Amino acid sequence: MSDKKSGWRGSLQLLGSALVLLAPVLMLAAFFSEPAEPGLKRHFTPPGVVILAAGTLLHTLSGLRSAAGVRTD
């Protein structure tokens, strides 16, 4: 968590961070419960991967700046 943002960027960053921190819990549950199940029954892995990807995307979007305010001197 790099800096404190306000407004919608701060909300995106907070939500993204929460999702990134939640994903390992699901992956840990998958590690212990899914190997015992036969076939491709995966109840924790797909949600864990999707939550991690969504959290990373939200965290990245919160850090983007608008092109109008960028100076390239």
pLDDT at position 42 is 84
Please count the residues of the chain. Answer: 73
pTM of the model: 0.76
**What is the predicted pLDDT for the residue at 6?**
75
Read off the pLDDT band of 1 (50, 70, 90).
Answer: very low
CA distances from 68 to 5, 12, 44, 64 (A): 19, 21, 42, 12
- The DSSP result for 12-60, as a single string, is HHHHHHHHHHHHHHHHHHHHHHSTTS-TT--SSHHHHHHHHHHHHHHHH
pLDDT tens digits for range 17-66 = 999 999 999 999 999 988 876 777 788 999 999 999 999 999 898 888 75
